[in-house]
Chains A and B, each alone.
Chain A
Amino acid sequence: MYVNTKIVKALLLLRDINLGSLCTVTGISLGALSAWLEGLNQDDDERLSFDRQLEVLKVLGIVGEHPRSDITHHWRVREPLMGSPDDAYEPLKLMLLCFGRAELVHLSPEKDHWVSFRSRTYFGLTFAQFRAVLEIHTAPWQSLTFAPEQLPNLTWADTGAALVLDERTFHQLTAPGEATPAAFDQERIRALEYLNWNRLTSLAAERGVSATEIASLLASNPLRRSLPGPEKQTKRPVRSREEVQAAQAASNEIFVTRDAGTAADASTSATEAVVRVSRASRKRGNKPSRGAQRSQAFVHTTAAPSPATHSEPRSSTSRPSRDPQSN
């Protein structure tokens, strides 16, 4: 098993880290790092051991097979002034293919600045395993070309909810290293709850149900709910550690094996392996209680994508477009 450098390069771009900084932090020489990332030498492991590769991943926020779930990751995309912005979103696309489904919310301060000539737009990404804040830079006169519906595994949360936050909370959530996943989830659920309550109100009005009736129904059937936190990582079985450059170029997994065969086979087998592992772990695990199932359903509909949907095949499926302001 070895580290897929395609993912490493994408993470370097998203985290806005240059090779020099990475060398300083990890103590790896620039030559060795460049050779490994560019695949210049035939036997990469001789110049950069697997442990050192894992160290690089750790600096980029990945521990195990997923980005850390105890921090909120901060990713940056810079839309080019000229030309197609598709290349700018390529690293994000890779992350979505590699780490599965994510839900998107727009993060915004509740009040616009008096004057601002800086153009930065923030989005919250909720993956099954971790949380990330996406910061998109554009020229001040340029509109965003970011189209979530055109990216694989990315959907708007609910009907495109925006997290309109007070300025302090907004700065806490968008400053790199400041936000915690719990705080992020809390704000996200709060915003989605607002929409759900509005929806419930209009549904009740449509059906002619009064607030008193709903209150009495709730009083007779007390419900419990809790805020879902980042889910725990599931361990995959360790695969053999060997290198295949072609498979690496085609695969969207962090760790790639040599016996993956052709590029297409590698991609398919990796996906199948993930699905198999996921199914097996579900079979092995205890059957969730009724309360847990209800809680899971709540998580799925109002907060994070469920692990069940996360383990579905990671293909590029188009999703219906959702305008955040449509509701």
Chain B
Amino acid sequence: MIVQKTIDMTRPAALYLAAIAVLILAVFIEGRLGVRLVSRGMHLPLQRTLAAGFILTSVAAGLLGAHRYAARVKAPWRVPSSQVHLSAFAFFVLGASAVLLSS
């Protein structure tokens, strides 16, 4: 039996793609279909500014995650998978918060 040399990272990658798909779908439902995913009872000062801030930090976390993912592919012994997961988690949570605030 020949052992494969590279680590299969499709499982977390699939999860990241699913998270991105969920966010895009939420934006689409809110923006295009006009369906409210959350109640409109929440009103914060500078809500739109906050949402924009969350979007920017979410994008930054996503980019960082992609960078760490590429680094892990290159040297899996140096970059732990938790590093990629944390960035992806931050990307999703911040992105979801931005969607909620902008609705």
Cβ of B53 under 8 Å from chain A: no
Task: Indicate if the CB atoms of A324 and B86 lie closer than 8 Å.
Answer: no
Residues of chain A within 8 A (CB-CB) of B76 are 106, 108, 162, 325
Nearest-Cβ distance from residue A41 to partner chain B, whole angstroms: 44
Among B1-24, those with CB < 8 Å from A are 1-12, 15
* A28→B6 CA distance, assembly (Å): 48
Known: A118-B82, A119-B82, A194-B2. A108 touches B77 (CB 8 A): yes
Min Cβ gap A48→B in Å is 40
Distance (whole angstroms) from the CB of A199 to the closest CB of chain B:
12
In this assembly, does A175 line the interface, its C-beta being within 8 Å of a C-beta of chain B? no
Once the chains are docked, how many angstroms separate the CA of A142 from the CA of B79? 8
| A to B CB contacts below 8 Å, 7 in the list | A112-B8, A120-B80, A140-B80, A141-B83, A164-B5, A191-B3, A325-B74
B77 x A324 contact (CB < 8 A): yes
A160 to chain B, nearest CB (A): 9
User: With a CB–CB cut-off of 8 A, which chain B residues contact A113?
Assistant: 11-12, 81
| Contact yes or no, B7 A141, CB < 8 A | no
Over the window 162-181 of chain A, the binary record of Cβ atoms lying under 8 Å from chain B Cβ atoms (1 yes, 0 no) is 11110000000000000000
Given the complex of chains A and B, what is the CA–CA distance between A114 and B74 in angstroms?
19
B positions within 8 Å CB-CB of A: 1-12, 15, 71, 74-83, 85-86, 89
**A194 with B85, Cβ < 8 A, contacts A114-B15, A140-B80, A324-B75 known:** no
Chain A residue contacts of B83, Cβ below 8 A = 119, 140-143
- For chain A, the count of residues having a C-beta within 8 Å of the partner chain is 37
| Cα–Cα, bound, A18→B77 (Å) | 28
A70-118 interface (Cβ within 8 A of B): 106, 108-118
Cα–Cα distance between A119 and B1 once the two chains are bound (Å): 30
> Hey, what's the 0/1 contact readout for A305-327 against B, CB within 8 Å counting as 1?
00000000000000000011100
The residue in chain B whose Cβ has the minimal distance to the Cβ of A118 is B82
In the complex, the answer to whether A112 meets B74 with C-beta atoms within 8 Å is: no
Q: Do B2 and A138 touch (CB < 8 A)? A: no
Within the complex, the shortest CB–CB distance from A118 to chain B, in Å, comes to 6
A123 within 8 A of B: yes
Residues of chain B contacted by A190 (CB below 8 angstroms): 1, 3
Which residues of the partner chain B approach A121 to less than 8 Å between Cβ atoms? Answer: 77, 80
- What chain B residues lie within 8 Å of A325 (beta carbons)? 74-76
- With a cutoff of 8 Å between Cβ atoms, the chain A residues found around residue B82 in the complex are 116-119, 140-141
Residues of B within 8 A of A162 (CB): 5, 7, 76-77
Q: A273 to chain B: which residues have CB within 8 Å?
A: none
Determine the residue in chain B with the shortest Cβ distance to A138: B80
Which residues in B have their C-beta under 8 angstroms from that of A163? 3
Contact A119/B3 with A113-B12, A325-B75 known, Cβ cut-off 8 Å? no
Could you say which residues of chain B place their CB within 8 Å of the CB of A111? 7-11
Q: Is the CB of A164 within 8 A of B4?
A: yes
**Which of B7, B10, B85 is in CB contact (< 8 Å) with A164?**
B7
The answer to whether the Cβ of A144 comes within 8 Å of any Cβ in the partner chain is yes
Chain B residue numbers with a CB within 8 Å of A138 are 80
Q: Are A110 and B7 in contact (CB under 8 A)?
A: yes
| Residue of B whose beta carbon sits closest to that of A160 | B77
Bound state CA distance, A121 and B79, in angstroms? 9
